[in-house]
A = this chain, B = another copy of it.
Amino acid sequence: MPSTMILTIDLGGTKVAFGAIDEHGAMHFNERVLINNLHGDAVGTLITHKISQIIKQFDKGRLQINAIGVSVPGIVRHQTGRVWVPNIKGWEDYPLKENIQRASSGIPIILESDRTCYVLGEKWMGCAKGCDNVIFLAIGTGIGAGIIANGSLVKGANDIGGAVGWMVHSAPQRGKADSSGCAFESCASGNGMVKLAQGMMNGTPGNNSTLISDSLKAQHIFTAYDTDEIAREVVQHCIKQWGMAVANLVSIFNPEKLVLGGGVFGPAVRFIPEIRQEAKKWAQPVSEKLYALEASQLGKDAGLYGAAYAALQFLNARINEERVS
């Protein structure tokens, strides 16, 4: 019988996942709601309504929600509880914590960035159990990393660390060399893949690509990999970029494990051996031999587990504080 229940929320740009996870990591509830074209307060209202609903539902079953953990795809301003979420219009400085508070009457609320949640989730219930030096490289619409070094989260002085999408490593460029360099994210995120493919299609009149430029998504590119030359070129370009990023992180952090995941990465699991091969060219050679490169084990639930774990850690810290005082 669980003694603690966390309502856990994974915010995305197109959908919100809700879950209830107990202190043993058992998932008691898991539902995804599309946000579609909603923006601003409408997204907030969708979330708070759903929270009220879930709390009532648990109340009926005489189960209490002890805390709410939220995975935020952007920047969390912990002092104010406001968030910046680039993928939701009108959420440049949105009072998320305050709004959830109104719907949840006194239940503690913990907000964490999605990348932090991903690595926490894998450490708690996924492929990084027991790892004190581990990185989750999240490849989605954008690119970020959740980092645990020496057992401690690397979030930076203002909670915006792990912005590895901004890393510069321009080496393998397609076509003419670009002396201005290339930020990792713009080359190798979901958006980057789409833009690169579109550029190649427009720049190659008479190409016989089966990709459809207008509604193109990263998953279409992966699907067409075996049959479409442009798709293959884009993915190969990304493998080089991902490999260099992995190499840089391995040289800097000397981790025991590096986990690849995120909304776009799923179909790229088959390329992990190639990514490792590419990383081998660049990484510090001793560290290069000493880490495991693996796909996320929790997949689309990594954020839910991680936000739940962050909330559990908050509750435990509070209990310890009370014991001491």
A residues with a Cβ closer than 8 A to B are: 75, 132-133, 145, 147, 149-173, 177-183, 244, 247-248, 251-256, 282-284, 286-287, 290-291
Asked if A170 meets B170 with Cβ closer than 8 Å, knowing A157-B256, A177-B179, A290-B157, the reply is: yes
C-alpha gap A159/B150 in the complex (Å):
10
Question: In the complex, which of the residues B157, B164, B256, B282 contacts A181, with contact meaning CB atoms closer than 8 Å?
Answer: B282
A150-B153, A163-B251, A163-B284 known, 17 other contacts, Cβ within 8 Å? A75-B286, A145-B252, A149-B152, A157-B255, A158-B287, A160-B286, A161-B253, A163-B254, A164-B251, A165-B251, A166-B248, A166-B282, A166-B283, A167-B248, A169-B169, A171-B181, A248-B248
Contacts of A162 in B (CB 8 A): 252, 254
Contacts of A244 in B (CB 8 A): 168, 181
Q: Which 10 A-B pairs have the closest CB atoms?
A: A156-B254, A171-B181, A177-B177, A166-B251, A161-B254, A163-B284, A157-B256, A133-B157, A149-B154, A166-B284
Q: How many copies does the complex hold?
A: 2
Centre residue among A178, A180, A251 by max chain B CB count within 10 A: A251
Contacts of A155 in B (CB 8 A): 150, 254
Contacts of A247 in B (CB 8 A): 166, 168
Contacts of A178 in B (CB 8 A): 171
Q: Which residue of chain B has the shortest Cβ distance to A150 in the bound complex?
A: B152
Contact B160 A284 (CB under 8 A): yes
Contacts of A173 in B (CB 8 A): 179
Q: Which residue of chain B has the shortest Cβ distance to A248 in the bound complex?
A: B167
Contact B252 A282 (CB under 8 A): no
C-alpha gap A284/B158 in the complex (Å):
12
Contacts of A282 in B (CB 8 A): 166, 168, 181, 183
Contacts of A253 in B (CB 8 A): 154, 156, 161
